[in-house]
Amino acid sequence: MRSSARFALNVFSNWIHMGVSVLVGAIMIPYATACLGAELFGVYAVLGSVLALLNLLDLGLSGAVSRFSSQDQGAKNVEQLRETVSTGMLILGGAGLIGAVTLVLSLPLVRAFFTRIQPDHYDDLTAIAVCLAINFALRFVSFTMRGVLVGANRYDFINGVEIASNVVRLVLLLFFFSFFEATLLLFGMTFIAHQLIRVIGFHIFGERLVGAGRLIRFNDVTRRAVGRLGGFSAVNAVAVLGGVIILQGPVVIIGRMLGTEYATLFYPAIFVGSQLRSIIGGLCSPLIPLAAKDAVTGEGKGLAGYSIRLSRISSAFALGMLIPVGVLTWPLIQHWLGEEFLGTEWVFLVMVFGQLVASIQSANYFLLMGGSKMTSWAISQLIAAVIGIIIAAGGQWYYDWGLLGISLSVTAVVVARNLIYLPVLACRQFQTPILDYFWYVYVKPFALASLLAAIAYWLILLFPPGNLVVTIMYGSAIVLAFAPIAWFGIIAKSDRETIIGLIRSGKNRLTTNKAN
């Protein structure tokens, strides 16, 4: 399959996966909150944020495995590929086990730190901690074979496994909570089932698709592979650290200073923002194997041109999601999450805005991860994260900012980095005119989106949606209205022609297959 067609298939499958993931989460959050209660669900949210901090044990190795397995497969170096996979599996599996044990052993510290967790919830805390610890260990095991599939440029298989695991998790949750008493233990068991499917699916497809026989062998663990992975992972680990701090740090602050019930109120904003950002990531993540192959073979020398082109497309998609979410935040919260979440609308909007603005830089991130240097990117992410969390914690401690103040402080730092520093960094790295980049990626798209948002908001004030179905219909209408604006006003003509060509070639291939 041609690289452009494979890229389109990967993007399409990514979006299906993201759509299923958003749908599953949209059902699970209000359902689990209603069944467990705000305080108990908050226990899970807080502990999940603590566990996310243990993702630092990854040390950036999962990204390094993806990068170097891509390069090994591009160079057709089976021996080195086996070294990369075996060494990565040993290190990541060990790190996952250490993280799981650490979480369970640190429960007394968790209870001491989060003083607002009630003593009658300690058994539930222990149960969900054990389940999340097992989930954590399995997830680390899955990283390596997922990296092999990324290297093989088979996001379609990755996403097939992800979709199946998400659907199973939702079905199990509905079954458990319908026929048994809703507990955090049963809730945690759905996460374990989710990870087991991922581990088994990635392993089966990884070894079959690469066609290199058994990839994981203890004898293939080498010092050379450790040094190779470690050299890149050190930089990637800094980026991972920054991402974890900026996303999960607010939940830890809220759980510590305000209580677990407030962490529950904050959780939907984190979930929706990260899921919508993942949709943009699904558009750009297939750049990793392309950039990695380019770094090895020197083919596709115009790959850097993807920076401004895909940034423009990312901007169109980000704004296409931001406009309906922004103008419909109030009815969405009311009809989706219920009256318990009323009053968190601005918190929700601020966090989603920050995540979607950050997603516009996804193309540059994956280009750098696949084949270029990302030291400046990683360091700036860590600095921004630390500054944002210090401001948020200080504001809550001294001025009692509340959820909105914490959200604004963190989002302000994220937006500043993504609107000012990263575009300049990308333009220098990929030799793109700075003024052109800002005009086509930010100024023009945001101006067009603001005009449509103002019109949509005025119409919604005149005709407010009365239920969730009507709210979704309004959102769909806004997306449809923005589509021609984005197509003709934001996306470049050359990219429009490329997209049309891919659609036509896909139709021709489908017709040929049917005829045969």
The residue ranking higher by pLDDT, 310 or 170, is 170
CB 396 within 8 A of CB 402: yes
Share of the chain above pLDDT 90, in %: 51
From residue 152, give the alpha-carbon distance in Å to each of 39, 51, 289, 311, 499.
Answer: 44, 30, 8, 24, 23
Q: Which residues of 79-89 are buried (b: 16+ CB within 10 A; e: fewer)?
A: ebbbbbbbbbb
Q: Apex CA 483: angle with CA 479 and CA 484, to 5°?
A: 145
Tell me how far apart the alpha carbons of residues 98 and 105 are, in angstroms, rounded to a whole number. Answer: 11
Residue 217 confidence (pLDDT) above 70: yes
Residue 299 confidence (pLDDT) above 70: no
3-state secondary structure 112-154: HHCCCCCHHHHHHHHHHHHHHHHHHHHHHHHHHHHHHHHHCCC
CB 489 within 8 A of CB 448: yes
As a whole number of angstroms, the longest Cα–Cα distance in the chain is: 72
Residue 400 gets the label, from left (phi > 0), alpha (psi -120 to 50) or beta, of left
CA-based nearest residue to 67, from 148, 8, 4, 1: 148
Residue 416 confidence (pLDDT) above 80: yes
- Burial class of residue 26, CB neighbours in 10 A (0-12, 13-18, 19+): middle
Tell me how far apart the alpha carbons of residues 281 and 77 are, in angstroms, rounded to a whole number. Answer: 29
Tell me how far apart the alpha carbons of residues 36 and 182 are, in angstroms, rounded to a whole number. Answer: 6
Q: What is the pTM assigned to this prediction? A: 0.84
Tell me how far apart the alpha carbons of residues 253 and 400 are, in angstroms, rounded to a whole number. Answer: 12
Q: What is the pLDDT of residue 353?
A: 96
Tell me how far apart the alpha carbons of residues 370 and 287 are, in angstroms, rounded to a whole number. Answer: 7
Listed in sequence order, the residues at least 6 apart from 55 whose beta carbon sits closer than 8 Å to its beta carbon are: 99, 240, 244
Q: What is the pLDDT of residue 510?
A: 46
Q: What is the pLDDT of residue 513?
A: 52
For 59-104, the pLDDT digits (tens) are 777 777 877 887 777 777 778 888 888 888 888 889 999 999 999 9
Structure token pair of residue 29: 């959050």
- Burial class of residue 122, CB neighbours in 10 A (0-12, 13-18, 19+): middle
Which residue type sits at 150?
Answer: V
Altogether, the residues listed in the chain come to a count of 516
CB 360 within 8 A of CB 280: yes
Q: What is the pLDDT of residue 300?
A: 45
Structure token pair of residue 495: 């990219």
Q: Apex CA 43: angle with CA 281 and CA 272, to 5°?
A: 25
Q: Which residue has the tokens 């540059």?
A: 364
Q: What average pLDDT does the chain have?
A: 86
Q: What is the pLDDT of residue 204?
A: 86
Output the CA torsion sign for 56, 57, 59, 63: negative
Which residue type sits at 424?
Answer: V
Residue 396 confidence (pLDDT) above 80: yes
Structure token pair of residue 149: 């599939």
Q: What is the mean predicted confidence (pLDDT) over 482-503?
A: 86
User: 200-214, 247-261, 273-287, 482-496: which range is least confident on average?
Assistant: 200-214
From residue 105, give the alpha-carbon distance in Å to each of 110, 123, 162, 252.
Answer: 10, 14, 30, 19
